[in-house]
Amino acid sequence: MAETESLLETPLAGLHRELGGRMVGFAGYAMPVQYAAGIMAEHLACRSSAALFDVSHMGQAELRGEGAAAALERVTPAEVAALRPGRQRYALLMNRFGGIVDDFMVANLGDRLFLVLNASRKAVDLEAIGAALPAGVALVPRPDRALLALQGPGAESILAGLAEGVAAMPFMGVLETSVAGIPALVTRSGYTGEDGFEIGIPAEGAETVARALLAAGAAPAGLGARDSLRLEAGLPLYGQDIDETTSPVEAALTFSIGKRRRLAWDFPGAERVREELDSGPKRLRVGIVPDGRQPARAHTPIAQGGITVGEVTSGGFGPSLGVPVAMGYVARAAAEDGTALELMVRGRAIPARVAPTPFVPHRYKRTPILQGVAP
Amino acid sequence: MSQTRFAESHEWVRLDDGLAVVGISTHAQDALGDVVFVDLPEPGREVEAGEAVAVVESVKAASDIYAPVAGTIAAVNAALVDDPALVNRDPMGEGWFFTITPRDAADADKLMDADAYAKHAEAGN
C-alpha cells in the first residue's frame, strides 16, 4: 500500500509481523499499534507482569567532548553539569520564547552524555542542540542503535536472568552491560509508570535481545498500550500535551528545572518561566476524570458553567482503572483538584472533575535511602 | 428472520419481524479492538441511510456507526451501556446496537450479502 511504502522500519520489523503486529505509521516509522492480544491485554500485562516495547524509532545520540554538559545546558533548564556518571535525568529542550521544543532523557556515561529523543522531534532536536555547541563538543547521532523498553513489575527478574548488575540499579540509573550476550546500554526508566528498563543495543543485536526477553516471559506490547499506560501514569506526550507553545510551568514540568538554573536563569525562555513562576501561568496541565464511561479524546473543549476554560490534550480509557481518564490545559482558576468541569463531547456536556496525576501510582525503583530523608 | 446484509461502512442489518436490527461486523470489531463505550441514539429519532447515529469507542479511538437503512430508531441495546465489550464477544448477535423501523423494508436488499462483504473487508476497506 502506497501510504506505508515510504515508512521507515525498525530492526524488529520482521519480528513484529511474525508476532501479528498491526502496523501503523508513527513519526515516519511503521510501528506495531498492537499485537494479537490487543491493547487492553497488553496494557494489563505491563501492569501485572512485564511488557516489551520496540522504541527503536526514538532518536539516540551522543554528546562528546570537554564541556558537553555545559553546552547542553545552553538549550535545557535541566541540571546537566551535576549529573553524576551512571545517572540519567528527564530534561526539556527549550526555545527562547519559553516553549518546549522536546522532552528527552540525558544520561551521563562518564566519558560522554547519551540522549534519547522523541521520534517525531529528533531532526529538530539534533539541529537545535548542534547549533548551540562550541568547538570541541560533538553531537553524534546513533541511528545504528535500537532501543527496547521492558516495563512492569516482572521486568527486573526477566532482565536479571539475561544481564549482570541490573537488579541493583536504582530508578534513573544507567549501566553499560550485556543482555543475552549483546553489549547494551541499560537505564532503569520508562514511560509507563512501572518499574522497568530501557535497553539500547546495536541494531543487528536487537532481534536476539527481543527474542530472549520474550522467551523469558515478557509480553509484546505496541504503541496503543504505550499510550494508555503513559496516560494513566500522567506522563505528557510531545506534540499532544506539550509543544513549542507550552511552557514548563504550564505543563507542570518545573521539576525538570535545576535549582541552580533557577538562580542563574541562564536557559532559553527563562524570562517567561520566571514570570510564570512568580505570577502564575494563565493555564495549567491537569488530570481530568470524566463521570461515567464515555472517554473524552484530544481536542475536546473543556467548559465551566458553559464557558470554555480549556481543552483536552490526551484522553481515553484507562484499562487498569476501568474508567476514562484525560489530561488537558485549563485556566488557572479551574486547575484546583476536585474542580467541576464539563467536557463537550459531540455537543453534550459530560460532567468531569480535575484530578491529581498519576491516575495509577508510579512504582519506580526508588532507592530506600531517599525514602528515609525528610523533605 | 431475513438474510444478514452489510453496509460498506461495516454495519450489518437483519430484518426481524419487520424491524431492522443493526450491529457491526466481526471484521469491524476486530479492527477497532477492545470496545470501552458505546454512544447510542435516542429511540424515536428519524434517520437517513448513511447518517452517523451512534459512536463506538475503543481504547484508542472513537468511530461513527451509520444507519444502514432509513427509518425511525425503535430501540437500543441497553446491555452495551454496562458491558460494551459485548460488541467484541458477540458482534453479530448479543452485541447489536439498535433497531430501526425501516421506511422501506426493501432498502436492506440493496446492501451487500455475506460473500460480497467478505470480499469488501478482505480488500482492506
Residue B68 to residue B4: CA distance in whole angstroms:
12
Indicate yes or no: CB of B59 within 8 angstroms of CB of A324: no
- Cis ω on the peptide bond leading into residue A358 (within 30° of 0)? yes
In percent, the amount of chain A with pLDDT more than 70 equals 96
Distance from C-alpha of A42 to C-alpha of B36, rounded to nearest angstrom = 15
For A83-125, the pLDDT digits (tens) are 999 999 999 999 999 999 999 999 999 999 999 999 999 999 9
pLDDT beyond 60 at A370? no
Q: What is the pLDDT of residues A45-88, one digit of tens each?
A: 999 999 999 999 999 999 999 999 999 999 999 999 999 999 99
d(CA B7, CA B47): 15
Sequence spans of domains, chain A:
2-57+144-232, 282-359
**Nearest neighbour of A40 by CB, restricted to B34, B55, B57:** B34
In the three-class reduction of DSSP (H, G, I as helix; E, B as strand; rest coil), residue B110 is classed as: helix
Q: Is B77 inside a domain boundary?
A: yes
Query: B2: which residues sit within 8 A by CB, 6+ positions away?
Result: B14, B15, B16, B108
DSSP A315-348: EEEETTTTEEEEEEEEEGGG-STT-EEEEEETTE
Residue B78 has pLDDT above 90, yes or no: yes
Does residue B112 belong to any structural domain of this protein?
Answer: no
| Overall domain count for chain B | 1
Contact A317 B39 (CB under 8 A): no
Return the amino acid letter for B35: V
In chain A, what percentage of residues exceed pLDDT 90?
Answer: 95
Determine the straight-line distance between the first and last CA of chain B, rounded to whole angstroms.
Answer: 28
Name the one residue in this structure whose C-alpha cell is 543485536. A205
Q: What is the per-residue pLDDT across A278-328, written as a single tens digit (0 to 9) for each?
A: 999 999 999 999 999 999 999 999 999 999 999 999 999 999 999 999 999
Residue B124 lies in a domain: no
Domain hosting B85: range is: 5-104
Measured between CA atoms, how close is A32 to chain B, in angstroms? 13
Nearest residue in B to A227, CA atom: B60
Residue B123 domain-assigned? Answer: no
d(CA A164, CA A151): 18
Nearest to B59 among A224, A293, A346 (CB): A224
Residue with cell 521492558: A150
- Is residue A350 within 8 angstroms of chain B, CB to CB? no
First and final C-alpha spacing in chain A: 57
Q: How far is B24 from chain A (nearest CA, A)?
A: 18
> How many other C-beta atoms can be found within 10 angstroms of the C-beta atom of residue A240?
16
With respect to residue B40, please indicate whether it lies within any of the assigned structural domains: yes
> Look-up: residue for cell 531517599?
A370
The band of B121, judged by pLDDT with boundaries at 50, 70 and 90, is very high
By the 8 A CB rule, do B95 and B87 touch?
yes
> What is the per-residue pLDDT for B60?
85
- Cβ–Cβ under 8 Å, residues B28 and B3: no
Query: What is A2-57+144-232's CATH number?
Result: 3.30.1360.120
Distances (CA, A) of A181 to A41, A91, A248, A269, B107: 30, 31, 40, 45, 65
Domain membership of residue B121 (yes or no) is: no
CB contact under 8 A, A317 and B124: no
Contacts with B, A 24-83, CB within 8 Å: 33-34, 38-40, 43
Test A317 with B57 for CB contact under 8 angstroms.
yes
Confidence check: pLDDT of A5 > 80: no
Contact B33 A38 (CB under 8 A): yes
Q: What is the pLDDT of residue A186?
A: 98
Q: Starting from the edge strand earliest in sequence, which strands make up the sheet with B62-66, in order? A: B35-39, B52-58, B62-66
- CATH code for the domain defined by A282-359: 2.40.30.110
B59: nearest CB among A39, A293, A294:
A39
Which residue out of A227, A232, A293, A323 would a mutagenesis test of the B interface target, given it has the greatest number of B Cβ atoms within 10 Å?
A293
Alpha helix locations (H) across A10-57?
13-18, 39-48
Q: Which helix (H) or strand (E) holds B12?
A: strand B11-16
At B4-60, the pLDDT tens digits run 999 999 999 999 999 999 999 999 999 999 999 999 999 999 999 999 999 999 998
Cα A368-A369-A373 angle, rounded to 5 deg: 120
State whether A224 and B33 contact (CB < 8 Å). Answer: yes
Provide DSSP, B32-100: H-SEEEEEPPPTT-EE-TT-EEEEEEESS-EEEEE-SS-EEEEEE-THHHH-TTHHHH-TTTTT--EEE
Q: Which one of B36, B38, B53 would you mutate to disrupt binding with A, by most A Cβ within 10 Å of its Cβ? A: B36
What SS3 state is found at A155? helix
The CATH number given to whatever domain includes residue B93 is 2.40.50.100
Q: Is the per-residue pLDDT at B2 higher than 90? A: no
Closest Cβ opposite residue B60 in set A293, A294, A316: A316
Look at residue A369 in the predicted model and tell me its pLDDT: 54
